[in-house]
Amino acid sequence: MTDCIFCRIVSGEIKGDLVYQDESVTAFRDVNPQAPVHVLIVPNTHIASIATLGDAELSQRLLAAAVRIAETEGLSHGFRLVTNTGPDAGQSVPHLHWHLLGGRPFGWPPG
Ligand code: 5GP
Ligand code: ZN
């Protein structure tokens, strides 16, 4: 989708601070980080949210990439992996993304 910011980062049309990319998954640093490590992990194809993902293999690839990146980013004390879905969760970019957050303690429950 040419009007989707994350599709444009995946394709390289817009430069992102990439930390990982393969044939199905791209990960890049959030432009407005909420923690010392804040990486977004997205499918290379445009999927609006996890609610419409419906692809077990791609789901597994996204999660495996997130766990690997947590390791390479040195998040041995823990991390948070979250995908905001729809308006109540505050999803602002309608291209599925996991937030990988780490490098500081997080409160629970989230606001
Ligand atoms: P959401 O609110 O949908 O869960 O998360 C969207 C995230 O995308 C936000 O954390 C926001 O900072 C990030 N974001 C929005 N536009 C861009 C961009 O152009 N580049 C990068 N790297 N992150 C973006
Ligand atoms: Zn997209």
Q: Where are the domains of the chain?
A: 5-102
* Active site amino acids: 97
Q: What pTM value is reported for the model? A: 0.98
Measured from the CB, is residue 28 less than 6 Å from ligand 1? Answer: yes
Bridge pairing between strands 25-29 and 37-43: antiparallel
Per-residue pLDDT of 2-30, as tens digits, reads 799 999 999 999 999 999 999 999 999 99
- Ligand number nearest CA of 110 is 1
Edge-to-edge strand list for the sheet holding 18-21: 18-21, 25-29, 37-43, 98-102, 79-82
The ligand 1 atom at the shortest distance from the C-alpha of residue 16 is 22
- Ligand number nearest CA of 15 is 1
The ligand 1 atom at the shortest distance from the C-alpha of residue 34 is 10
CA 51 to CA 54: how far, in whole Å? 8
Measured from the CB, is residue 16 less than 6 Å from ligand 1? Answer: yes
CA 72 to CA 65: how far, in whole Å? 10
Q: What is the CATH architecture assignment of 5-102?
A: 2-Layer Sandwich (3.30)
- pLDDT of 111 reads 84
Per-residue pLDDT of 68-80, as tens digits, reads 999 999 999 999 9
